[in-house]
Amino acid sequence: MTEQEVQWFDEDGKRIDGRAKDEMRETKMKADVLEEADGSAMVEVGNTRVIASVFGPQDLHPKHLIESDRAVIKMRYNMAPFSVDDRMRPGPNRRAKEIGLVAKQALTPAIELEQFPKSGIDISMEIVESDGGTRAAGITAASLALADAGIPMRGLVSATAAGVVDDTAVLDVIGKEDKEGNADIPIATINGGDEITLLQMDGDLTPDQVDECLSLARKGCADLDEMQREALHSSLKNQEQEGGEQ
Amino acid sequence: MQINTKRIRKLSEEQERLDGRTPLEYRNITIEPEYIPTTADGSAKVTIGDTQVIVGISTDLEEPFPDMPGKGTIVTNAELAPMADREFESGPPQEDGVELARVVDRGIRESEAVDLEDLCIEKGEKVITLFIDIHILNNDGNLLDAAALAAITALKTGTLPHYDEESGEFDREAEGRPIPLTKTPVTATGRKIGDTIVFDTTKQEEEAQDARLTVSITEDNNIVAMQKGGTEPYSQEETMETVEKVRDKTEEFRQLIEDAVGE
Amino acid sequence: MTRLKESKEIATPGEPIYEGQDIRPNSGAYKKEDKIYSKHFGMVKYRKNKVEVRPMSGRYVPQDGDTVIGEVTRVSYSRWTVDLGSAYDGNLNIGDATDEYVDLDEDDLTDYFDVGDAIMVKITSVSESMDVDLSMEDRRCKKLVGGRVVEIAPSKVPRVIGKKGTMVKQIIDKTGSNVLVGQNGRVWISGGHENLAAQAIKKVEKEAHTEGLTDKIGEWLEKQQQENEGEQ
């Protein structure tokens, strides 16, 4: 199916899944979802579902990675085999390694690594269900998990992707839009503000389109930032409920 | 901590456990079928106490094995995700992960629960491969039972995608059909701490365990698979004692699966 | 000069908690231009002319003067390495472990503490590069024999101890267990109704941020006792 055959917008300007061009998919977030991990969170954006975990500060292996004056972050991004229609073979792949790296760079500016010299902080993002925007959801979840783990940060990091389909800039690109659209621009910001810590682009756009995408995505990040804080506050209520059941 | 391991061993002499459960008692079990509705062909999430496991089923079209030209294949894989336990490292499957996958697989394979001939598209040429992927999210012990329970629930509620003759491929948009399941093998593991046989161990209890015996049983009460792990030996009496106890347990599990799936 | 968040309110990382130049940020808070922000998901606390944020959770970071529960992981020629449930291990030298005379060539250090032993020990110094020195000098320090250790978030330790020890005392009285609380979140429980004491401690951890907790826990313990007696 070529791009011309897909009707990206209907007469009311709604996208293939019924959203407006500046509308994010339905997003749910929950912190403190795993017991063993020091911090954890689950984020669902439409049909994309990610679980993030944080262990640390703790012993760092291998020893040659140790830094005398700060903690070292190890980041893992992994898609479960059943997270995509055509099973993903388990095991490291180059795409996952790259995403791990840019995700680490997206989160690091916000973290106070100097508080924990000679230690390691292990962050993991598992994609259990994918419909586009997995690295963005992963970063958003990882930031929540870091807060849940009590790691000191100057802010939360949230991420989303904007793109262009049928020459129109849209927010929160769904799998199908990404595959057959013009461009995909994932970004991350700190505290929903103007510091962009993740910026990537695949596509073919005019500078004006890029500018428009950035504006859309920044607004998305600001909305996600609010949701992250609500999720943290909710995690306290969840604990109360569990405690009360005994 | 070792102080806890010592306590657990001491308590086991009186048939007691750290959290006050009886030796046969399981923690709270939840089963959620179709946990991954959009991308997996079958799935389930199981929690036993704080242990959390997801199993997802995927399908693919492949050539059959030369010695079984008319049968589909099952491939079971386990991922001890680093998020589940501070001790789990990233990388190729370790021993424990491989054993976990193979034990879960054995219960399903030996019981012939899945009708493999029903997975055949064209004898000698093309068959359906069922991938059973076990993903551990949180390890507080008894991964074997949780994974086995999730696997059988995923199979029970899963579907095979529609095969399109014309294109020779799956048409995932069209309606599929249920995975052809003829039996429901259920698996439970008994573990020896000293001379006491204990079920549903927590992670701490497993550090105190001497050996374990996993048994898979079908609804006609036949034993289809067993696996002993750990360094201490089992006597014949202990083996049969475990088999008896597993039989009782599997009745409970079948009811739990029915309740979860029936909805 | 505005308190955007009051004491005992919960803040999230990057959230502004104070506006003004007259207060300084303490642990868990930072200053940017004319506002003070939180570094944690945690509870705000004003103290004199400073404001801090205590995280709701987080792994233990060794502090000078803390009494903690550790596990011996290594025995060397003249010292023990002790795991504290932290990124940083502690070091217990023979001279700080006992007043007795020890001949390092003749005597066996494992006679005192062996790998796997749990000990209540005091932190006497933490260097900038996080070298942690320990000592058994304090009268609370000893080898912990029998019983069990439950682990809670270090940030919840004050709550488990309670004002002037009221919470932990209540648990001890109502369960008959001996309870020792380490600042690193490890709690040793021995004797009496161990399991009930463990559950009570976990419950305090879960509901630490709520009001009237001491009474709630007291009532809960009574109820559990009655149920247990009913079963007998």
Q: Evaluate whether residue C89 is within a structural domain.
A: yes
Interchain CB contact of B50 with C (< 8 Å): no
Q: What is the pLDDT of residues A135-193, one digit of tens each?
A: 999 999 999 999 999 999 999 999 999 999 888 999 999 988 888 877 899 999 999 99
Structure tokens at C188: 């040793």
In a domain, C61, yes or no: no
**SS3 (DSSP) at C136:** coil
> Measured in Å, how far apart are chain B's first and last C-alpha atoms?
42
Confidence (pLDDT) at A242: 60
Record: contact A38-C129, CB cut-off 8 A: no
Question: B93 vs chain A: nearest CA distance in angstroms?
Answer: 9
Looking at the DSSP bridge assignments, the partners of residue A31 are A41
The yes-or-no verdict on residue A114 having pLDDT over 90 is yes
The domain boundary, picked from C125, C144, C163, lies at C144
Contacts of B172 in chain A (CB under 8 A): 85
Q: At what angle do helices A207-244 and C194-206 cross, to 10 degrees?
A: 140
CA distance C43 to chain B (A): 27
Q: Does A222 touch chain C (CB under 8 A)?
A: no
ipTM, 2 decimals? 0.93
Token readout for C151 is 């682990």
Q: What percent of chain B has pLDDT over 70?
A: 98
Domain holding C132, by residue range, is: 67-144
Residues C213 and C170 in one domain: yes
pLDDT bin (cut points 50, 70, 90) of residue A1 is very low
> Taking CB atoms and an 8 Å cutoff, what residues of chain B touch A58?
86
CB contact under 8 A, A82 and B58: yes
Q: Which residues of C touch B (CB under 8 A)?
A: 71, 116-118, 144, 146-149, 186, 188, 195, 198
**pLDDT of A4 strictly over 90:** no
Strands (E) across chain C are located at 2-3, 10-11, 16-19, 24-25, 29-32, 35-38, 42-47, 50-55, 67-75, 79-83, 90-93, 118-126, 132-135, 142-144, 148-151, 178-181, 186-190
What pLDDT shows up at residue A61? 84
CA A77/CA C86 separation, integer angstroms: 25
* Confidence (pLDDT) at B91: 65
| Partner residue opposite A156 with nearest CB, options C14, C30, C128 | C14
Task: Write down the pLDDT at residue C145.
Answer: 95
Mean pLDDT of chain C: 93
Q: Are A42 and A49 spatial neighbours (Cβ–Cβ below 8 Å)?
A: yes
Tens digits of residue pLDDT in B90-112: 666 677 889 999 999 999 999 99
Query: How distant is the Cα of C105 from the closest Cα of chain A, in angstroms?
Result: 32
Q: C108 vs chain B: nearest CA distance in angstroms?
A: 21
User: CB–CB of A190 and C14 under 8 A?
Assistant: yes
In terms of DSSP bridges, do strands C50-55 and C24-25 run parallel, antiparallel, or are they unpaired? parallel
Residue found by looking up tokens 């005398």 in the block: A68
Residue B89 has a pLDDT of 77
Comparing CB atoms, the residue among A59, A110, A190 nearest residue C87 is A59
- Test C12 with A57 for CB contact under 8 angstroms: no
Six token digits for residue C186: 């490890």
Each residue's pLDDT tens digit, B15-41: 999 999 999 999 999 999 999 999 999
Using CA atoms, how far residue A31 sits from A111, A231, A241, B35, C58, in Å, is 18, 6, 15, 19, 14
Task: Give whole-number Cα distances, B147 to A50, A197, B133, B170, in Å.
Answer: 20, 38, 10, 28
| CATH number of B2-262, picked from 3.20.20.70, 3.30.230.70, 3.40.50.1100, 3.40.50.970 | 3.30.230.70
Structure tokens at B253: 């599990």
Q: Kindly report, residue by residue over C31-64, the tens digit of the pLDDT.
A: 999 999 999 999 999 999 999 999 999 999 999 9
Nearest-CA distance from A137 to chain B in Å?
17
Contact between chains at A150 and C56 (C-beta distance less than 8 A): yes
Residue C231 or A222, more confident: A222
Task: Decide: C160 and C181 in contact? Cβ < 8 Å.
Answer: yes
* CB-CB under 8 Å, C195 with B3: no
Helix or strand (DSSP H, E) at B238: helix B236-262
Nearest-by-CA chain B residue for A88 = B58
Chains touching B (at least 3 CB pairs under 8 A) are: A, C
A63-110 residue pLDDT tens: 899 999 999 999 999 999 999 999 999 887 999 999 999 999 999 999
A126: which chain B residues are within 8 Å (Cβ-Cβ)?
81, 83, 135, 137
Which pLDDT band, with edges at 50, 70 and 90, does A241 fall under? Answer: low
Question: Which CATH number is C200's domain given?
Answer: 3.30.1370.10
Q: Give B201-213 pLDDT, tens digit per residue.
A: 999 999 999 999 9
Most C CBs within 10 Å, among B1, B11, B21, B204, to test the C interface: B1
How far away is chain B from the Cα of A73, in angstroms, using its nearest Cα? Answer: 14
Please report, in tens digits, the pLDDT of each residue of chain C (232 residues total): 899 999 999 999 999 999 999 999 999 999 999 999 999 999 999 999 999 999 999 999 999 999 999 999 999 988 999 999 999 999 999 989 888 888 877 778 888 999 999 999 999 999 998 999 999 998 999 999 999 999 999 999 999 999 999 999 999 999 999 999 999 999 999 999 999 999 999 999 988 888 889 999 999 999 988 887 766 5
Residues of chain A in contact with residue B139, where contact means CB-CB under 8 angstroms, are: 36
Fold category of A27-238 in CATH: Ribosomal Protein S5; domain 2 (3.30.230)
Q: How many CB pairs under 8 A join B and C?
A: 29
CB contact under 8 A, C149 and B20: no
Q: Which chain C residues contact residue B10 at CB under 8 A?
A: 146
Q: For B130-166, give one letter per residue: b (16+ CB within 10 A) or e.
A: bbbbbbbbbbbbbbbbbbbbbbbbbbbbbbbbebeee
Give residue-wise pLDDT tens across range B73-92. 999 999 999 999 999 976 66
Give C151→chain B minimum CA distance, Å.
Answer: 10
C107, C123, C144: which is the final residue of a domain?
C144
Question: How many CB pairs below 8 Å do chains A and B form together?
Answer: 93
Contact A51 B56 (CB under 8 A): no
List of chain A residues whose C-beta atoms are within 8 Å of the C-beta of residue B85: 36
Say if C16 is an interface residue toward chain A (CB within 8 Å): no
Domain termination site, one of C110, C127, C144: C144
Contact B162/A at CB under 8 A: no
Across the interface, whether the CB atoms of C87 and A232 are under 8 A apart is answered no
Q: Is residue C160 part of a domain?
A: yes
Distance from CA of A39 to the nearest CA of C (A): 8
How far out from the chain centre does Cα C96 lie? 22
Neighbors of chain C with 3 or more C-beta pairs under 8 Å: A, B
Whose CA is closest to C71, among C115, C111, C136? C115
pTM value is 0.94
State the nearest Cα–Cα gap between B152 and chain C, in angstroms.
Answer: 34
**Rounded-to-integer distance, Cα C32 and Cα A233, Å:** 24
- Residue of A59, A71, A232 with shortest CB distance to C41: A232
| Contact by Cβ (8 Å): C70, C117 | no
Nearest to B139 among A36, A40, A90 (CB): A36
Quote the Cα angle for C63-C66-C71, to 5°.
95
pLDDT score recorded for residue A44: 98
* Percentage of the residues of chain B whose pLDDT score is greater than 90: 92
Residue C94 lies inside a defined structural domain of this protein: yes
C178 CB-near residues (< 8 Å, 6+ apart): C147, C172, C188, C189, C190, C191, C192
Overall domain count for chain C = 3
Can you tell me the distance from the alpha carbon of A193 to that of B240, in angstroms, rounded to the nearest whole number?
A: 65
